[in-house]
Amino acid sequence: MRTVILTMTFLLTLIQTFGQAEEPKLKISPLTDNFYIYTTYNTYEGSKIPANGMYVVTNEGVILFDTPWDTTQFQPLLDSIKLKHNKNVKICIATHWHSDRTEGLEYYKKQGIKTYTTKQTDELSKKNSKKRAEYLIEKDTIFNIEQYSFETYYPGQGHTEDNIVIWFDKEKILYGGCLIKGADAENLGYLGDGNVIEYETTLKNVQKKYPDPKYIIVSHHDWNNIKSLKHSIKLAKKIKRKNYR
């Protein structure tokens, strides 16, 4: 009897082990209408960290915001978008110079995709030997692409010197990148290239300029909670007080 129980336990363990599908390296989730959030993963300080980006399907092609952090997912993302929407990515805009935003810029440029960063991001990318875009945004800019309009906005230093956000006014979508942390975040994350003194002011600039977002997309946490910006301001205020002591 004991042998039978052990055998059944072993078989159940095998079924559970091989029956569980390996977690995908690329995840695509619908946001609203033609907006989608894509997630890839990488390891930071021994932990597997998600990296969210966004894309928008227009009449003629796809606008991509930031690039996959996982270098193996540059082409799978393009393939998935093509398979899902029968459209090609036409434009890619990165929101600051760190690798989790820019790593795929040169690869996408070679695929004929127009790649953009701000001039400030390009200078930092060059200084830190990161991937660079083909086209530069000189100042806060409104893009009108097919049926969609959005603007880039530089609110000040925070996560990095150059972090920008993206705003779709009609849809009330705020793409905050790494500047805004999730509503469940315990801290502001990596600040080695950040400005802890200016961070709170920078976030408040975003809040003042875009007071009524319907969606707020963040890079490394749950993007479904609209309280992420308010929570990030609290975290920034706390760390500012700590550094002023």
| Cα radius of gyration (the chain) | 20
Structure tokens at 193: 């290239």
Distance between first and last Cα of the chain: 68
Helix count (H) and strand count (E) of the chain?
Answer: 7, 12
* Chain CA centroid to CA 122, Å: 18
pLDDT in tens, 98-123: 999 999 999 999 999 999 999 999 99
Amino acid symbol at 215: Y
With CA atoms as reference, report the closest residue to 196 among 154, 245, 152, 230: 245
| Residue 42: per-residue pLDDT | 87
Per-residue tokens: 138: 């000189």
Nearest to 175 by CA among 61, 77, 93, 86: 93
HEC sequence for 102-121: HCCHHHHHHCCCEEEEEHHH
Predicted pLDDT of residue 144 = 97
Q: How far apart are CA 224 and CA 211, in angstroms?
A: 17
Q: What is the pLDDT of residues 114-151, one digit of tens each?
A: 999 999 999 999 999 999 999 999 999 999 999 999 99
pTM of this prediction exceeds 0.85: yes
Residues of the chain with pLDDT under 50: 1-20
Please report, for residues 5, 9, 12, 15, 53, the alpha-carbon distance to residue 1 in angstroms, rounded to integers and kept in the order given.
6, 12, 17, 21, 54
Enter the DSSP assignment of 72. Answer: G
Q: What is the predicted pLDDT for the residue at 92?
A: 98
Give, in words, the CATH class of 23-244.
alpha beta
Tens of pLDDT, residues 148-170:
999 999 999 999 999 999 999 99
Q: Which structure tokens are listed for 43?
A: 């390891």
Beta-strand runs (E) in the chain: 27-32, 35-44, 47-57, 62-65, 89-93, 114-118, 135-137, 142-145, 148-153, 165-168, 173-177, 215-218
Quote the CA–CA distance of 193 and 191 in Å, as a whole number.
Answer: 5
